[in-house]
């Protein structure tokens, strides 16, 4: 049967082009791969090759023709046994997919907004452990190590890799003792090669293991950003659900003290934006432990943002065999009716300190610790704001595109009529972190700024 040769699309955006030159004439025999014509697109002149073998029966579009639409028949190819009588040219083949897409658009469901799994139940002020549970004082550092060790005992496919995690016992001593208990097969010192070992971690997760990849700090994870975002977060989607990267990327995030601009950045807002990632940023030791255990068991890539200054702080931790904290459930640290203060991670230090001082002045703040940023328990924020009618957010990250600005937009869209004042975002200053002690202190968010913001929204 005669084959129509159609005007090809030669780039992702081409709709029409100029048939600059025919390199074959009627009666020529062509085989697959032969150059038939030169076609000019808006970008370049391209060669157009034959796909099928045969004889050029008829040239339908003369060379020099401009504005030839894609899929217009430009020539007829006769295959073995065809005669010129077979050349009944038809209308150009329709690009069905495009037409169909247009009609589908009309009935597309309203934007669903978020792919985040919602929390099972919103937060309340009751503790995460059963009444009567024995509590022990533990540092964040110890709680983190215990969380990892418990999960490594539970599942032999869980392993820890990173710089100085094994023999050095952890650059910040988080992995202290793990090498002794689990051996060099499961506690692995890597070279200083973030992009490479992050990629190896993701590949190991594809292959069925449950890696915990430690970044000495998240500042160095920028070297590995492509593997985290493009390989870990997107593969489940791109594979139609066939495979993904169940793993944890963890390490200290945000400002430490006096380490300057390149070692002091809060990445919460960056990672929070990525569908496919889950993001935890705990404050208390019990949450570090419970969320780490949940993160290791989660079948998705989890970004676990720790804080160096918090590592040494002590909190009550329940003495339980298997203490876990669910993702997407905020914790209400303090109930109040005058204003809602929302924070997470080290931001909670400022929020709680400000709430204590405000209480002395008779202002009762409700303080919410988000604990995870993706999924985010916006339901608890909204419920609180509908009660207090005012909200202040607190974080150390930069203001533009901050976690707080996202929270503000959610409140505006979902609880606009309940607001008695604009939401204020207390953030780190919009500058690279300075080294000088006085400047550094000023660059971070301060308790006083939180107090001032609360007074502003409560018109006190």
Partner 1 sequence: MAAKKPTKKPNVSAEELKAYYRDMLLIRRFEEKAGQLYGMGLIGGFCHLYIGQEAVVVGLEAAAEEGDKRITSYRDHGHMLACGMDPNGVMAELTGREGGYSKGKGGSMHMFSKEKHFYGGHGIVAAQVPLGAGLAFSDKYKDNGRVTFAYFGDGAANQGQVYEAFNMAALWKLPCIFVIENNQYAMGTSQQRSTSSAEIYERGKAFGIPGEAVDGMDVLAVKEAGEKAVAHARKDGPYILEIKTYRYRGHSMSDPAKYRTREEVQKMRDERDPIEAVRSLLLQGNHATEDDLKAIDKEIKKVVNESAEFAKDSPEPHLDELWTDIYATEVPQEA
Binding of partner 1 by 196 (CB under 8 A)? yes
Minimal distance, residue 107 CB to partner 1, in Å: 8
Which is closer to partner 1, CB of 89 or CB of 100?
100
Alpha carbon distance 249, 303 (integer Å): 5
- Please give the biggest Cα pair distance in the chain: 98
Pattern 29-68, partner 1, x by CB under 8 A: ---xx-x-----x-xxxxxxx-x-----------------
Q: Which two tokens stand for residue 406?
A: 């996202």
Which listed residue (16, 63, 79, 263) is catalytic? 263
| Residue 96: active-site member | no
Minimal distance, residue 75 CB to partner 1, in Å: 13
Positions 307 through 336 that interact with partner 1 (CB under 8 A):
none
- Measured over the CA atoms of residue 105, residue 110, residue 115 and residue 117, the dihedral's sign is negative
| Residue 194: active-site member | yes
For 409, residues 6+ apart whose C-beta sits below 8 A from its C-beta are none
Omega before 375 cis (within 30°)? Answer: yes
Which residue of 231, 253, 324, 447 would you call a contact of partner 1, by CB under 8 A?
231
Burial 177-203 (b: 16+ CB within 10 A, else e): ebbeebeeebbbebeeebbebbbbbbe
Positions 153 through 172 that interact with partner 1 (CB under 8 A):
157, 159
SS3 call for 3? strand
268 and 304 Cβ atoms separated by less than 8 Å: no
CA 449 to chain centre: 29
For 203, residues 6+ apart whose C-beta sits below 8 A from its C-beta are none
Binding of partner 1 by 8 (CB under 8 A)? yes
Which is closer to partner 1, CB of 39 or CB of 457?
39
Pattern 265-294, partner 1, x by CB under 8 A: ----------xx-x----------------
**Span of 5-13, 286-294, 328-336, 436-444 interacting with partner 1 by CB under 8 A:** 5-13
Of the candidates 239, 246, 160, the residue with the CA atom closest to the CA atom of residue 205 = 246
- Measured over the CA atoms of residue 170, residue 194, residue 202 and residue 304, the dihedral's sign is positive
Alpha carbon distance 295, 210 (integer Å): 10
In this structure, what DSSP letter does residue 326 have?
-
**Span of 6-14, 138-146, 386-394, 407-415 interacting with partner 1 by CB under 8 A:** 6-14
CA 277 to chain centre: 4
**Span of 141-149, 196-204, 317-325, 417-425 interacting with partner 1 by CB under 8 A:** 196-204
Does an H or E element contain 413, and which?
Answer: helix 403-415
In this structure, what DSSP letter does residue 354 have?
H
Which residue of 202, 221, 394, 453 would you call a contact of partner 1, by CB under 8 A?
202
Which residue of 101, 125, 431, 437 would you call a contact of partner 1, by CB under 8 A?
101
* Sheet order of strands, 210-214 included: 187-189, 158-162, 210-214, 247-252, 301-306, 278-280, 372-374
Which is closer to partner 1, CB of 115 or CB of 137?
115
Binding of partner 1 by 181 (CB under 8 A)? no
In this structure, what DSSP letter does residue 178 have?
H
- Determine the size of the site formed for partner 1 (CB under 8 A): 78
Positions 346 through 365 that interact with partner 1 (CB under 8 A):
none
Binding of partner 1 by 204 (CB under 8 A)? yes
Which listed residue (163, 194, 214, 395) is catalytic? 194
**Span of 94-102, 127-135, 248-256, 409-417 interacting with partner 1 by CB under 8 A:** 94-102
Of the candidates 423, 355, 417, 411, the residue with the CA atom closest to the CA atom of residue 380 = 411
Which residue of 238, 257, 261, 412 would you call a contact of partner 1, by CB under 8 A?
238
361 and 402 Cβ atoms separated by less than 8 Å: no
Positions 108 through 137 that interact with partner 1 (CB under 8 A):
108-109, 112, 115-117
Which is closer to partner 1, CB of 243 or CB of 359?
243
Which is closer to partner 1, CB of 129 or CB of 327?
327
**Span of 76-84, 183-191, 306-314, 409-417 interacting with partner 1 by CB under 8 A:** 183-191
Which residue of 11, 29, 137, 337 would you call a contact of partner 1, by CB under 8 A?
11
Alpha carbon distance 108, 267 (integer Å): 34
Alpha carbon distance 402, 412 (integer Å): 16
Binding of partner 1 by 227 (CB under 8 A)? yes
Which is closer to partner 1, CB of 12 or CB of 132?
12
Minimal distance, residue 82 CB to partner 1, in Å: 16
Positions 403 through 422 that interact with partner 1 (CB under 8 A):
none
The residues carrying an active-site annotation are 194, 263
């Amino acid at each position: 049967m005669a084959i129509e040769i159609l005007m090809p699309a030669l780039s992702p955006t081409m709709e029409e082009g100029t048939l600059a030159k025919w390199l074959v004439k009627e009666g020529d025999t062509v085989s697959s791969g032969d150059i038939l014509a030169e076609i000019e697109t808006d970008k370049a002149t391209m060669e157009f090759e034959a796909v099928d073998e045969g004889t050029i029966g008829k040239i339908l579009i003369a060379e020099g023709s401009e504005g030839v639409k894609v899929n217009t028949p430009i020539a007829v190819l006769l295959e073995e046994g065809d005669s010129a009588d077979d050349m009944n040219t038809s209308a150009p083949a329709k690009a069905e997919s495009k037409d169909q897409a247009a009609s589908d658009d009309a009935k597309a469901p309203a934007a669903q907004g978020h792919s985040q799994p919602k929390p099972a139940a919103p937060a309340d002020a009751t503790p995460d452990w059963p009444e009567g549970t024995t509590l022990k004082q533990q540092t964040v550092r110890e709680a983190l190590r215990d969380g990892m060790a418990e999960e490594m005992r539970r599942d032999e496919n869980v392993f820890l890799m990173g710089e100085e995690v094994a023999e050095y016992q952890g650059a910040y001593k988080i992995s202290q003792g793990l090498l002794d208990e689990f051996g060099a097969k499961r506690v692995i010192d890597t070279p200083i090669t973030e992009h490479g070992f992050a990629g190896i971690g993701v590949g190991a997760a594809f292959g069925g293991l449950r890696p915990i990849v430690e970044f000495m700090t998240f500042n160095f994870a920028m070297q590995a950003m492509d593997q985290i975002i493009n390989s870990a977060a997107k593969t489940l989607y791109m594979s139609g659900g066939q495979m993904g990267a169940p793993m944890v990327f963890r390490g200290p995030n945000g400002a430490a003290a006096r380490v300057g601009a390149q070692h002091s950045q809060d990445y919460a807002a960056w990672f929070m934006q990525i569908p496919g990632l889950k993001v935890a940023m705990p404050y208390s030791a019990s949450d570090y432990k419970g969320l780490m255990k949940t993160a290791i068991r989660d079948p998705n890539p989890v970004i676990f943002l720790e804080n160096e200054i918090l590592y040494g702080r002590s909190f009550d931790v329940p003495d339980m065999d298997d203490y876990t904290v669910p993702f997407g459930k905020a914790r209400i640290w303090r109930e109040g009716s005058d204003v809602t203060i929302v924070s997470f991670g080290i931001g909670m230090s400022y929020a709680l300190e400000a709430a204590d001082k405000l209480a002395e002045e008779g202002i009762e703040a409700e303080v919410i610790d988000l604990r995870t940023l993706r999924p985010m328990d916006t339901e608890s924020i909204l419920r609180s704001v509908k009660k207090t009618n005012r909200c202040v957010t607190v974080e150390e990250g930069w203001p533009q595109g901050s976690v707080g600005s996202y929270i503000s937009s959610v409140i505006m869209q979902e609880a606009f009529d309940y607001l008695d004042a604009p939401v204020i975002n207390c953030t780190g200053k919009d500058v690279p972190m300075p080294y000088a002690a006085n400047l550094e202190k000023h660059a971070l968010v301060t308790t006083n700024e939180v107090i001032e913001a609360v007074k502003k929204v409560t018109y006190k």
